[in-house]
């Protein structure tokens, strides 16, 4: 029993520490050579301590190409009801009953994409939920390195001297501004894909020699 | 896991549109997405199929020659995937866009699994082959004078003796000489002249060339098509034509030169036409037109050149009919010009064209003059109808007494249209503003054309109404870049390539040409002139030209299909019969019309 517990603890430790100990690319490396993982979560609400993740979607970007072969979308069985949030993501409790355990998903995420720079639109929320979920699953959470496409867009517009209205930073508005085709529909994978497109467009606008440090600066 | 946007796009893209949902989602899961910004180079080095999702990309050969433009739904890389041969092309992004890459394994799997997809890419490949093949290879039927003439000209001065001339001919191994005085062409002399006018007449070898030469010979422009030379030679029964460039003589072309270059040219039909002695004979000749058209198409002669050939044949038929009419009716009582309007005037006649012609007379059409030309018109128009060029349903024909006028009569008619341009009058009369002389006096015609152009250039109200008329119809493109189909009594649904495409551009270009007093009537030449004079931006002119060529090409190919299937020739094209590639290009062409109409409106309809 003790042994079993010990092995489990070790395993989970390995997931988190393995992820945390993988070195991210240096700040002076070019963005075009860096690996990114665009991801999006759908939630039961906006409070990380009370609400839960109901679905997660991600798609990696390597050498500036979105690799759809590794695109993933998981429904997660949440301990609480989706309640009113269903009107946003369209997921219902009965669907989520067939969802998988958050721990399995997180294990895959942390194992496969260590060393990736994570990307999300309004990433603060996704980061908080991921951290809480990690703590619940593994007892501790690693530090994530996130680039926030919303923040990047805001900075970009500010630098152009534009007045930024609140609506202007919604994912759909950003996609439209960049002439990108997808209409986000609160589906975790679709939104992650849109976010990846937006990032690629933002990177191209950043010029040829953009480094990760430049990108982090824009993403603050 | 599939991304809906990607599989949705593939589902709308030929040839993947035939896959089922589950096959599509499998396929879309094997795609990599790349974002490219204008001016950026696209990776094409890898062994993958490239699918353009959005944006515009230009494909350049290793010699930096623009091969084609790719846009949404277009492919690249299948060439290499099919043949394993590497092209050294460059793909440059012109407008920001997304590119999908499908890796070789998935591409081949898809090809093996679905025969239709395989066929699609094989066809695309073969089309690309002939599209970019060295242009020299298929110009045999549309050679120009400049392609076959010798670079050096052989000329003699008029004060030299005929013996000098004979010696020069035999030294240079030619059968004719240009006669030039101070670098100016004054005549030609041929070996036949030496025989008929010198030896047979018993003139001495010291006779001056100027004495026996043919003065003021017919001539042809260096950039004219070869068959136009055949046409002139046949029409005037001559075998030598001086070749001019910018009005300066640069060479001589003989019938033998032409025969040597084109042993089996189907346009010998023109020569044949000029040898006919009866309407029945002409009718027999005209029955070869359809076969000739099919041959031209097989030789991949571009539509605008084919239109030129077809028009030249109509011209030849008209000229021969006038010749035959004169034989029957005697010499005309006065000088006249036989005029053509519309597509014959523009030299872009298609296979289903009807007659649009008229007569311009030196004297007022009364009494004997009227009787003679009424009979002539009757003979020619019905002769043409017998040759398959149907009578004009709108009665725009020389048989209509209202269209047999003196210079004064025509000038008055045009002046009325220009001075008081009611919308209906303009709509009806716009066809008259494309006119060309087919036979008879060029001088008389030039006087009329000058008169018209002088009036149109300074007539803003007229140009306003003409522009309004040109704007009445729009390209059949919906709000979301979808085609708007038209219904026809007999044929099913389709896009009317003439009424909603070619004619719109012809009308539009005419307004500019008349505003600038340009004498050309051919739409492509008008565009060149307009660009050269800076009246239209050269890029716009090129775009309009491309759109025009594309629609003319699609219509030409449609007519060919109709002919081969034994249908009546129709301008209605069902988009389903088009390749995905052509569909995109056509939408683009319609968009060009929309833009050009917008600019026309700005230019001519603003201040009114």
The answer to whether B33 contacts A196, with C-beta atoms less than 8 Å apart, is yes
ipTM of predicted complex: 0.86
Residue B66's contacts (CB-CB under 8 Å, 6 or more residues apart) are B58, B59, B60
Tell whether the model's pLDDT for residue B326 goes beyond 80: yes
Tell me the C-alpha distance between B392 and B386, whole Å.
Answer: 13
Mutate to test the interface with B, among A181, A192, A195, A199 (most CBs of B within 10 A): A181
Q: Which of B31, B33, B37 sits opposite A204 (nearest CB)?
A: B37
Tell me the C-alpha distance between A197 and B212, whole Å.
Answer: 82
Token pair listed for A58: 């991600």
A59 vs B contacts (CB less than 8 Å): 3
Q: Percent of chain A scored above 70 by pLDDT? A: 93
Q: Which of B2, B30, B34 sits opposite A64 (nearest CB)?
A: B34
Of A53-67, A182-196, B318-332, B366-380, the poorest mean pLDDT is in A182-196
DSSP at A31: G
Q: Which residues of B touch A (CB under 8 A)?
A: 1-6, 9, 28-37, 40, 53-54, 96, 98, 101
Token pair listed for B122: 């094989």
CA of A8 vs chain B CAs: smallest distance (Å): 30
Count of Cβ atoms closer than 10 Å to residue B472 Cβ:
10
CA of B546 vs chain A CAs: smallest distance (Å): 27
**Same domain (yes/no): B593, B552:** yes
CATH number at residue B581: 1.20.120
The answer to whether residue B88 sits within a structural domain is yes
Tell whether the model's pLDDT for residue B240 goes beyond 80: yes
CA of A26 vs chain B CAs: smallest distance (Å): 24
Return the number of CB contacts < 8 Å for A and B. Answer: 67
Residue B115's contacts (CB-CB under 8 Å, 6 or more residues apart) are none
The answer to whether A204 contacts B40, with C-beta atoms less than 8 Å apart, is yes
The answer to whether A180 contacts B9, with C-beta atoms less than 8 Å apart, is no
Cα separations in angstroms, B480 against A8, B476, B477, B484, B591: 57, 11, 8, 10, 12
CA of A186 vs chain B CAs: smallest distance (Å): 13
**Same domain (yes/no): B441, B476:** no
pLDDT value of position B138: 44
Name the helix (H) or strand (E) containing B17.
Answer: none
pLDDT value of position A8: 62
Mean pLDDT across the stretch B541-566?
A: 85
pLDDT value of position B19: 84
Of A128-132, B192-196, B267-271, the poorest mean pLDDT is in B267-271
CATH number at residue B99: 2.60.120.10
**Same domain (yes/no): B439, B491:** no
**Same domain (yes/no): B320, B338:** yes
Mean pLDDT across the stretch A2-8?
A: 62
The answer to whether B34 contacts A189, with C-beta atoms less than 8 Å apart, is no
| Cα nearest neighbour of A67 on chain B | B32
CA of B1 vs chain A CAs: smallest distance (Å): 5
B79, B104, B135 - which closes a domain: B135
B34 vs A contacts (CB less than 8 Å): 64-66, 200
Mean pLDDT across the stretch B187-208?
A: 90
Q: Is A11 within 8 Å of chain B by CB?
A: no
**Same domain (yes/no): B479, B598:** yes
CATH number at residue B332: 3.30.460.10
| Cα nearest neighbour of B26 on chain A | A69
The answer to whether B1 contacts A200, with C-beta atoms less than 8 Å apart, is no
The answer to whether residue B491 sits within a structural domain is yes
The answer to whether residue B127 sits within a structural domain is yes
Mutate to test the interface with A, among B35, B41, B49, B99 (most CBs of A within 10 A): B35
**Same domain (yes/no): B438, B473:** no
The answer to whether residue B403 sits within a structural domain is yes
Tell whether the model's pLDDT for residue B269 goes beyond 90: no
Mutate to test the interface with B, among A35, A57, A68 (most CBs of B within 10 A): A68
Mean pLDDT across the stretch B221-240?
A: 84
Mean pLDDT across the stretch A59-73?
A: 93
pLDDT value of position B125: 72
Domains in chain A (CATH in brackets) are: 2-218 (3.30.420.10)
Kindly indicate the confidence band of residue B134, based on its pLDDT and cuts at 50, 70 and 90: very low
**Same domain (yes/no): B466, B402:** no
A172 vs B contacts (CB less than 8 Å): none
The answer to whether A72 contacts B28, with C-beta atoms less than 8 Å apart, is no
Token pair listed for B211: 């004495």
**Same domain (yes/no): B43, B117:** yes
| pTM score, whole prediction | 0.50
The answer to whether residue B157 sits within a structural domain is no
Place of tokens 């020569």: B271
Q: Which of B31, B36, B53 sits opposite A68 (nearest CB)?
A: B31
B5 vs A contacts (CB less than 8 Å): 181-182, 190, 193
The answer to whether B54 contacts A69, with C-beta atoms less than 8 Å apart, is no
Kindly indicate the confidence band of residue A62, based on its pLDDT and cuts at 50, 70 and 90: very high
Mean pLDDT, chain B, whole residue set: 84
| Cα nearest neighbour of A207 on chain B | B37
Q: Are B168 and B154 in contact, with CB atoms under 8 Å apart?
A: yes
Cα separations in angstroms, B49 against A64, B31, B35: 17, 10, 16
**Same domain (yes/no): B462, B598:** yes
Residue A61: helix, strand or coil by DSSP?
strand
The answer to whether residue B286 sits within a structural domain is no
The answer to whether B98 contacts A65, with C-beta atoms less than 8 Å apart, is no
Q: Which of B6, B36, B98 sits opposite A68 (nearest CB)?
A: B6
Name the helix (H) or strand (E) containing B493.
Answer: strand B493-496
**Same domain (yes/no): B413, B469:** no
B135, B163, B197 - which closes a domain: B135
pLDDT value of position B136: 37
Q: Are B377 and B397 in contact, with CB atoms under 8 Å apart?
A: yes
Tell me the C-alpha distance between B410 and B431, whole Å.
Answer: 14
pLDDT value of position B260: 62
Tell whether the model's pLDDT for residue A132 goes beyond 90: yes
Q: Give the A window 58-87 contacts with B, CB below 8 Å.
A: 59, 64-69, 71-73
The answer to whether residue B192 sits within a structural domain is no
Q: Could you tell me the residue range of the domain that residue B325 belongs to? A: 305-418+428-448
**Same domain (yes/no): B588, B471:** yes
- What sign does the dihedral A172-A174-A177-A180 (CA atoms) show? negative
**Same domain (yes/no): B442, B488:** no
Domain count, chain B: 3
Tell whether the model's pLDDT for residue B96 goes beyond 70: yes
The answer to whether A68 contacts B30, with C-beta atoms less than 8 Å apart, is yes
CA of B87 vs chain A CAs: smallest distance (Å): 23
Kindly indicate the confidence band of residue B431, based on its pLDDT and cuts at 50, 70 and 90: confident
The answer to whether residue B174 sits within a structural domain is no
DSSP at A62: E
Q: Which of B32, B37, B40 sits opposite A65 (nearest CB)?
A: B32
């Amino acid at each position: 029993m003790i042994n079993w517990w010990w092995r489990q603890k070790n395993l989970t430790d390995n997931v988190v520490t393995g992820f945390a100990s993988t070195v991210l690319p240096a700040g002076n490396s070019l963005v075009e050579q860096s690996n990114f993982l665009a991801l999006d979560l759908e939630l039961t609400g906006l409070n990380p301590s009370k609400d839960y993740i109901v679905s997660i979607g991600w798609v990696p970007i390597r050498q500036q190409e979105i690799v759809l072969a590794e695109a993933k979308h998981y429904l997660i069985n949440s301990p609480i009801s989706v309640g009113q949030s269903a009107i946003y993501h369209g997921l219902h409790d009965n669907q989520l009953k067939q969802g998988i355990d958050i721990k399995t998903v997180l294990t895959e995420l942390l194992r496969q994409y260590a060393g990736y720079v994570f990307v999300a639109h309004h990433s603060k929320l996704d980061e908080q939920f991921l951290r809480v979920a990690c703590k619940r699953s593994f007892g501790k959470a690693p530090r994530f390195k996130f680039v926030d496409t919303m923040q990047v867009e805001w900075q970009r517009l500010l630098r152009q001297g534009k007045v930024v209205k609140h609506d202007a930073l919604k994912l759909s508005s950003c996609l439209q501004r960049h002439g990108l085709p997808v209409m986000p529909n609160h589906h975790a994978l679709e939104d992650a894909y849109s976010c990846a497109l937006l990032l690629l467009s933002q990177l191209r606008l950043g010029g040829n020699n953009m480094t990760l440090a430049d990108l982090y600066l824009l993403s603050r | 896991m599939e991304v809906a946007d990607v599989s949705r796009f593939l589902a709308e893209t030929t040839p993947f549109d035939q896959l089922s949902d589950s096959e599509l989602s499998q396929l879309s899961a094997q795609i990599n997405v790349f974002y490219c910004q204008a001016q950026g180079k696209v990776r094409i080095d890898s062994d993958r199929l490239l699918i353009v999702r959005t944006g515009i990309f230009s494909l350049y050969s290793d010699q930096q020659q623009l091969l084609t433009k790719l846009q949404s739904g277009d492919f690249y890389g299948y060439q290499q995937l099919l043949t394993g041969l590497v092209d050294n092309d460059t793909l440059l992004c012109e407008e920001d866009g997304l590119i999908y890459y499908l890796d070789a394994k998935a591409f081949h799997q898809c090809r093996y699994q679905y025969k239709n997809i395989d066929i699609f890419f094989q066809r695309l490949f073969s089309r690309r082959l002939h599209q970019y093949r060295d242009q020299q290879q298929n110009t045999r039927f549309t050679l120009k004078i400049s392609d076959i003439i010798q670079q050096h000209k052989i000329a003699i001065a008029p004060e030299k003796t005929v013996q000098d001339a004979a010696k020069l001919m035999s030294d240079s191994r030619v059968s004719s000489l240009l006669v030039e005085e101070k670098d100016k062409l004054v005549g030609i002399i041929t070996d036949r002249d030496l025989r008929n006018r010198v030896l047979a007449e018993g003139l001495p070898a010291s006779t001056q060339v100027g004495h026996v030469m043919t003065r003021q010979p017919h001539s042809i422009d260096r950039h004219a098509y070869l068959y136009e030379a055949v046409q002139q030679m046949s029409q005037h029964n001559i075998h030598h034509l001086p070749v001019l460039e910018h009005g300066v003589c640069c060479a001589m072309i003989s019938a033998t030169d032409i025969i040597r270059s084109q042993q089996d040219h189907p346009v010998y039909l023109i020569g044949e036409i000029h040898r006919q002695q009866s309407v029945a004979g002409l009718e027999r000749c005209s029955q070869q037109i359809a076969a000739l058209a099919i041959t031209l198409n097989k030789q991949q002669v571009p539509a605008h050149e084919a239109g030129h050939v077809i028009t030249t044949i109509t011209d030849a038929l008209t000229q021969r009919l006038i010749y035959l009419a004169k034989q029957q009716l005697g010499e005309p009582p006065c000088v006249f010009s036989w005029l053509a309007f519309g597509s014959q005037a523009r030299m872009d006649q298609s296979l289903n064209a009807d007659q649009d012609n008229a007569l311009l007379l030196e004297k007022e059409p009364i009494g004997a003059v009227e009787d003679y030309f009424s009979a002539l018109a009757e003979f020619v128009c019905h002769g043409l109808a017998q040759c398959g060029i149907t009578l004009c349903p709108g009665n725009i024909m020389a048989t209509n007494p209202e269209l047999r006028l003196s210079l004064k009569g025509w000038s008055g008619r045009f002046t009325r249209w220009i001075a008081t341009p009611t919308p209906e009058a303009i709509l009806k009369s716009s066809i008259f503003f494309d006119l060309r002389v087919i036979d008879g006096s060029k001088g008389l015609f030039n006087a009329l054309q000058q008169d018209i152009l002088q009036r149109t250039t300074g007539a803003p109200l007229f140009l306003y109404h003409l522009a309004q008329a040109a704007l009445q119809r729009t390209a059949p493109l919906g709000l979301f870049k979808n085609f708007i189909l038209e219904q026809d009594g007999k044929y099913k649904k389709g896009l009317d390539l003439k009424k909603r495409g070619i004619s719109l551009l012809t009308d539009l270009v005419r307004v500019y040409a008349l505003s600038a007093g340009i004498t050309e009537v051919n739409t492509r030449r008008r565009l060149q002139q307009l660009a050269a004079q800076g009246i239209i931006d050269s890029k716009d002119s090129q775009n309009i030209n491309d759109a025009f060529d594309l629609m003319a090409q699609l219509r030409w190919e449609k007519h060919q299909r109709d002919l081969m299937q034994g249908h009546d020739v129709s301008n209605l094209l069902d988009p389903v019969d088009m390749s995905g590639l052509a569909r995109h290009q056509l939408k683009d062409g319609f968009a060009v019309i929309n833009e050009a109409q917008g600019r026309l409106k700005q230019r001519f309809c603003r201040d009114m």
